[in-house]
Chain A
Amino acid sequence: MTFLKGQNPQGGPARRTMIAALVAAATAAALGVYRFTNLMVKHYAPTPYDDLLAHLTDREQAARLGAKVTGAFDARREAATLRAALGSRTFTAAATADIAAGRMTEVDGWVLPQTVVLLSALASRV
């Protein structure tokens, strides 16, 4: 068995250093992509409504829908309504309760649960 210069049979310090450096570089790159581009996921500036917006799995699509909500929209007031509606419930539970209770709102003709509409409208306005 022959060995290249600088290597040793047990994969000694030089190889470990190189792997560690590569991992560090990859992590930094991933963090950069994550933080400074939309390639992996979109980043939003903090808002007073992040507790609510966190319910949205796809905030971008919700904002696109919310942009179709017409009329005056007082974010602070609607956020209070939403907080009351959501309480300790999940978004799904709140939407389901709306449907059962007939609390529906139309957006661009779509018949939607009120909570979905309010949250989408909030997403489009912050």
Chain B
Amino acid sequence: MSAFLDARTLPDRTVLTPDLAIIGGGPTGISLALALAHTKLNIVLLESGGMNFDPRVQSLYAGSESGVPYTALEAGRLRFMGGSSNHWGGYCRPLDEIDFEARDWVPHSGWPIGRKHLAPYYPRAQQLVEAGPWVYDDSGAAVTAAKGAALELGKGGLYTSWFQFSKTRDSVLPTYFGHRYEADLKAARNVTSYLHVNVTGIRLAADARRVDRLDLATLEGKHFTVKPRFVVLAAGGMENVRLLLASNDVMTAGVGNQNDLVGRFFADNPIPRDVATLVSFAGPLAQYYGANTTMDNGAIMRAVFSTTRHYCESQRNVGSLTTVEPAAELDEAGKAAVITTALALGVDASNARAYSLGCGMELLPDPDRRLTLTGDKDALGMPRLKLHMTIADEDFALYRRTLAELGRQLLASRAGMLRISYSHRDEWMKAMDWGHHHLGTTRMSADPKSGVVDADGLVHGLGNLYVAGSSTFPTCGASNPTLNLIALTLRLADHLKTVAA
């Protein structure tokens, strides 16, 4: 059967027996369903919300926090079809090769797969996020040729890289996966999407080697059972944890939590604001620095300063993406710095312009940055989550060093100079914002001792439960996750085509 069904209209105690149950209708779940559409697999997509925001459903996401201030758990994600893509920013950029590698200066780093394993899936992921032709760093030269010269950077640790953006539908918003792919899902005869239904438990067989069934509930009090051959948990980087930990009837620590790893290593990309002031000696920067710029081929581009592999390796640093933001004013000391430096370098700075800089940082993995369950229950009786958030002084120090290197490179090319805004932790914290990228909580590892899932996303020790999405990223890089998690999901789809056929 192919349809969008309102689960509230099903008879109570309905039992479904699909080949595959996908839990969650966000970008991950939808991409997986689309990749397996028109196959012989009988698939159910189980989505907690409807097609639009409903405060009652959204409140199921509420939780608590400790540690450094972080976005409230119910504010940083959306619980209806399309998930958080209903308010995402559409920033896309593939992870860099080094992001997948074990780096001896980054504890707990190293994916069991490399970028080459995702490479075949990026083109389709790029289509799904509707980011136009694959341009990124491959054709940055074409952008500068068409839209004006890039700010020259001297040889060093950073280079001009590129974001692409989810094609802004109706010229305004990035792809909302629920609405955008509703028709495609409905057209897939082997996929049935159940809306308004919550998975409340992942029940294992007594030998703890397979999922036997899923417990489902509506807010109206109906209960259903799904007995699938395979399950993919795609409920987002926080909710995946909640479901695994709360399903503790057979594995008492929670499903997949035999090594106390589920919920640990939570990560996000910090995006502190106004981290520096960049002065361009020659005057205004090309438009593609501060704003999204549409190319003739439809790609929407924005320049960003990224760290090179050589820099990260030689300086034992991590990834970051530094963006140019609105124009800034200089104080008298700033003007003196610019005049004095420009005169020293023999550069004409009479037309100089200053800009604020923003960034997205890679956080060092921290096992104590974690999600746990609390005694509080939601309307379905599910224990609520608590997030303990951390950010280390080292995280700020590493990024600060990268900013200093960018400043040096600007001087080396005589193109400009840079002022770093913050030195102390409290200054950084005051400027702090987060990407709302929920990563790392069911990390991928070849060794069950250091990860929750294997290289295919299969929960270690189980034969038919997979986890998909950015919760499987062992390290997060600085790139925004969605393009990457979709590529990873498409890889999982290929795997499932083989194992579930």
- Given the interface pairs A92-B345, A95-B345, the reply to whether A62 lies near B340 with Cβ below 8 Å is yes
Inter-chain CA distance A120–B333, complex, in Å, is 12
Inter-chain CA distance A116–B403, complex, in Å, is 19
Q: Which chain A residues in 82-108 approach chain B with CB under 8 Å?
A: 91-92, 95-96, 99-100, 102, 104, 106-108
Provide the residues of chain A in CB contact with B421, threshold 8 Å: 109
Task: Name the segment of B115-123, B140-148, B406-414, B492-500 touching the other chain.
Answer: B406-414
Question: In the complex, which residue of chain B has the Cβ closest to the Cβ of A91?
Answer: B344
> Of A67, A96, A108, which contacts B419 at CB under 8 A?
A108
- Given the interface pairs A65-B333, A92-B346, the reply to whether A58 lies near B340 with Cβ below 8 Å is yes
User: Is A111 a contact partner of B418 (Cβ separation < 8 A)?
Assistant: yes
Provide the residues of chain B in CB contact with A64, threshold 8 Å: 332-333, 336
Inter-chain CA distance A58–B277, complex, in Å, is 23
User: Is A61 a contact partner of B339 (Cβ separation < 8 A)?
Assistant: yes
Provide the residues of chain B in CB contact with A95, threshold 8 Å: 341, 344-345
User: Is A65 a contact partner of B340 (Cβ separation < 8 A)?
Assistant: yes
Count B interface residues, CB 8 Å: 28
User: Is B345 a contact partner of A112 (Cβ separation < 8 A)?
Assistant: no
The winner among A57, A64, A67, A99 for most chain B CB atoms within 10 A is: A99
Provide the residues of chain B in CB contact with A120, threshold 8 Å: 340
User: Is B336 a contact partner of A104 (Cβ separation < 8 A)?
Assistant: no
Determine whether B417 belongs to the interface, using a CB cutoff of 8 Å to chain A: yes
Count A interface residues, CB 8 Å: 29
Determine whether B154 belongs to the interface, using a CB cutoff of 8 Å to chain A: yes
- Given the interface pairs A61-B335, A116-B341, the reply to whether A99 lies near B420 with Cβ below 8 Å is no
Determine whether B35 belongs to the interface, using a CB cutoff of 8 Å to chain A: no
Provide the residues of chain A in CB contact with B333, threshold 8 Å: 64-65, 67-68, 108
Provide the residues of chain A in CB contact with B341, threshold 8 Å: 95, 110, 112-113, 116
A42 CB → nearest B CB, Å: 14
- Given the interface pairs A92-B346, A96-B345, A100-B412, the reply to whether A111 lies near B340 with Cβ below 8 Å is no
User: Is A111 a contact partner of B412 (Cβ separation < 8 A)?
Assistant: no
B139-173 near A? 1/0 per residue, CB < 8 Å: 00000000000000010000000000000000000
* Total cross-chain contacts (CB, 8 A): 81
Q: Which chain B residues in 290-345 approach chain A with CB under 8 Å?
A: 332-337, 339-341, 343-345
Determine whether B404 belongs to the interface, using a CB cutoff of 8 Å to chain A: yes
User: Is B404 a contact partner of A99 (Cβ separation < 8 A)?
Assistant: no
B339 CB → nearest A CB, Å: 4
Determine whether B423 belongs to the interface, using a CB cutoff of 8 Å to chain A: yes
Provide the residues of chain B in CB contact with A65, threshold 8 Å: 333, 336-337, 340
Provide the residues of chain B in CB contact with A111, threshold 8 Å: 403-404, 407-408, 411, 417-420
Inter-chain CA distance A112–B419, complex, in Å, is 9
User: Is B337 a contact partner of A110 (Cβ separation < 8 A)?
Assistant: yes
Inter-chain CA distance A95–B417, complex, in Å, is 13
Question: In the complex, which residue of chain A has the Cβ closest to the Cβ of B414?
Answer: A96
Inter-chain CA distance A67–B331, complex, in Å, is 14
User: Is B336 a contact partner of A61 (Cβ separation < 8 A)?
Assistant: yes
B178 CB → nearest A CB, Å: 44
User: Is A58 a contact partner of B339 (Cβ separation < 8 A)?
Assistant: yes
Question: In the complex, which residue of chain A has the Cβ closest to the Cβ of B276?
Answer: A109
> Of B332, B344, B417, which contacts A110 at CB under 8 A?
B417
Inter-chain CA distance A111–B418, complex, in Å, is 6
Provide the residues of chain B in CB contact with A112, threshold 8 Å: 337, 341, 411, 417
Question: In the complex, which residue of chain A has the Cβ closest to the Cβ of B343?
Answer: A57
Question: In the complex, which residue of chain A has the Cβ closest to the Cβ of B332?
Answer: A64
The winner among A58, A91, A112, A116 for most chain B CB atoms within 10 A is: A112
Inter-chain CA distance A122–B337, complex, in Å, is 15
User: Is A61 a contact partner of B340 (Cβ separation < 8 A)?
Assistant: yes
Provide the residues of chain B in CB contact with A100, threshold 8 Å: 412
> Of B337, B339, B344, B418, which contacts A108 at CB under 8 A?
B337
Provide the residues of chain B in CB contact with A113, threshold 8 Å: 341, 344, 411
User: Is B340 a contact partner of A109 (Cβ separation < 8 A)?
Assistant: no
Provide the residues of chain B in CB contact with A67, threshold 8 Å: 333
B312 CB → nearest A CB, Å: 17
Provide the residues of chain A in CB contact with B276, threshold 8 Å: 109
Inter-chain CA distance A124–B341, complex, in Å, is 15
A97 CB → nearest B CB, Å: 11
User: Is B340 a contact partner of A116 (Cβ separation < 8 A)?
Assistant: yes
Question: In the complex, which residue of chain B has the Cβ closest to the Cβ of A92?
Answer: B346
Provide the residues of chain A in CB contact with B344, threshold 8 Å: 91-92, 95, 113, 115-116, 119
B316 CB → nearest A CB, Å: 15
Inter-chain CA distance A119–B337, complex, in Å, is 12
Would you give 30 A-B contacts (Cβ < 8 Å), ordered by A?
A57-B343, A58-B339, A58-B340, A58-B343, A61-B339, A61-B340, A62-B336, A62-B340, A65-B336, A67-B333, A95-B345, A99-B408, A99-B411, A104-B408, A106-B420, A108-B334, A109-B276, A109-B420, A109-B423, A110-B334, A110-B337, A110-B341, A110-B407, A110-B417, A110-B419, A112-B337, A112-B341, A113-B411, A116-B341, A116-B344
Seed contacts A106-B420, A108-B337, A120-B340; 4 additional CB < 8 Å A-B pairs: A61-B339, A95-B345, A108-B333, A110-B419
Nearest 4 CB-CB pairings of A with B: A111-B407, A64-B336, A65-B336, A109-B419
